Structure 1
Amino acid sequence: MSTDDASADDPADDASERRPVTIYSDFVCPFCYLGRASLRQYREDRAERDLPEVDVEWQFFDLRGHKRGPDGEIRDDVNDGKDEDYYDQVRENVVRLREEYDAEEMLAFDEVHDADSWDAQQAALYVKQSYDLDTFREFYDAVLEAHWEDGREIDDLDTLAELAESVGFDGAEVRDAVDDERLAEELESQFEAARERGVTGVPTFVADGHAARGAVPPEHLQRLLEGV
């Protein structure tokens, strides 16, 4: 998989065909929320050009895994080289992209709960395996929006159960899924598979062996998926 700042080296075969894209994402990443907003703009543009829908496959990524201790808890004392200047830049970029991508409903970076997304991703993995694609997408969107629009605690089981019920299935299923050791092992395997594929940050968009990382603008997604 080759990675650049959003362009593909070879043109897509035919922009009129349905285009698959895999997106690696973590609920707690602000740029994953913004990347979804950019993708939405690109999809709207395709619709205006009478092109087929983009087939999106969401994959999981443990953004804060390097801070996770042996007990599974996130450790704030781990030095990851990100100082206050780094986070100031993140805040500035979030504000800029929020306006650029018409995502004004997104809360400010410092207004959201400092969550560990493991349980939410494990719940989403259960939904992906157990229900149809539409239900998975609804649940995925519900969790992402609960975190970045409503400031809810997505690492709280009651919250995840309520979100499950909001998209039409029993919240008890999510509670059971979060306690399922088999699912936990499979989620860890998917995190490892992402790393082995060279995914080091999110969001990462992958199509036809090429990748674009970050909340890239719609025209970069067009280049990635259409080669133009």
Structure 2
Amino acid sequence: MASTSVLYIDVWSDFVCPFCYLETPVLDQFRNAYGDAVEIRWHAFELRPEPTPLVDPNDEKLVEIWENSVRPLAEERGVLMRMPPVTPRSRKAFETAMFARESGRYDVVHRAIFKAYFEEGIDIGDTDSLLDIAATCGVDPELLEEALDDGTYTDLVIEDEDFAKKLGVGGVPFAVLSRDPAPGQEAPPPIALRGAAPIEHFEAAVGRLFPDGFPGV
């Protein structure tokens, strides 16, 4: 197994998107297979930023999507989740995860926010809820509260979203797989995967990026 990252997966997602949560087990499986040779980099993408109206959690169309698409995929991927009773904005949640990155707690906080929303129905747009989630993950809630109040990480969220616009990202989850160039060669073009792609799509992308075989495997 390679000891340093040679494959990069950039993922744009939103904490309030069920399909983004349903992509996490696929990425876990992929990372478990390739270990440190893969670096997964999460990016913010707000589906409903201000002033976009929030969706009624009891909206008939939303309920239909959950029953016909979300629940079957959740069962297939072994993910426990329920339809949340609220549809919050997610900017503060992204800022919370970015704050946690500074102390090496990004992954655990990122996962905890997803779980809090889709398993416990917690309003992740509420600052107090985010402070509680972060505290259980070993993040200093007082320092986090200061960062959220000051908007310390707001610009980073906006940068992620601006870059997504340049890439033409219109929905999430959206993943881009890329690699460093081999010595004396140009790197192959990055490969984009849209939606809650299955593991087979990631494996196929690796085969295209590394036609001579993935290093260390």
TM-score (norm 1): 0.75
Alignment partners' CA distance in 1, 2:109 and 2:74: 22
Report runs of 4+ in structure 1 exceeding 3 Å deviation.
41-44, 83-87
One-letter amino acid of the structure 1 residue matched with residue 87 of structure 2: D
**Structure 2 residue ranges without an equivalent (≥5):** 179-189, 212-217
Q: Which of the residues 62, 75, 91 maps onto 1:118? A: 91
Alpha-carbon spacing, 1:184–1:88, altered in 2? closer, same or farther (3 Å): same
Shift of 1:170: 1.1
Q: Which of the residues 33, 36, 54 maps onto 2:38? A: 54
Q: Which of the residues 14, 19, 23 maps onto 1:31? A: 19
Alignment partners' CA distance in 2, 1:127 and 1:85: 35
Partner in structure 2 of residue 218 of structure 1: 199
Partner in structure 1 of residue 103 of structure 2: 131
- Would you say the 8 A contact 2:12–2:175 is kept in 1? yes
Alignment partners' CA distance in 2, 1:52 and 1:185: 29
3-state SS of the aligned residue for 2:120?
Answer: coil
Partner in structure 2 of residue 106 of structure 1: 81
3-state SS of the aligned residue for 2:22?
Answer: helix
Alignment partners' CA distance in 1, 2:137 and 2:54: 33
Task: Encode CA deviations 1:158-217: one digit per residue, 9 max, x unaligned.
Answer: 111111111112111221121223422332222112111221111111112111011111
Query: When the two structures are aligned, how many residues end up with a matched partner?
Result: 193
CA RMSD of aligned residues (A): 2.5
Alignment partners' CA distance in 1, 2:9 and 2:171: 17
Q: Which of the residues 15, 20, 30 maps onto 1:42? A: 30
- Would you say the 8 A contact 2:54–2:88 is kept in 1? no
Alignment partners' CA distance in 2, 1:31 and 1:87: 14
Alpha-carbon spacing, 1:76–1:59, altered in 2? closer, same or farther (3 Å): closer
Partner in structure 2 of residue 150 of structure 1: 120
Larger RCO of the pair (alpha carbons < 8 Å, separation 6+): 1
Alpha-carbon spacing, 1:211–1:174, altered in 2? closer, same or farther (3 Å): same
Shift of 1:119: 0.8
Q: Which of the residues 159, 162, 170 maps onto 1:200? A: 170
3-state SS of the aligned residue for 2:125?
Answer: coil
Alignment partners' CA distance in 2, 1:192 and 1:161: 27
Sequence identity percentage: 29
TM-score (norm 2): 0.78
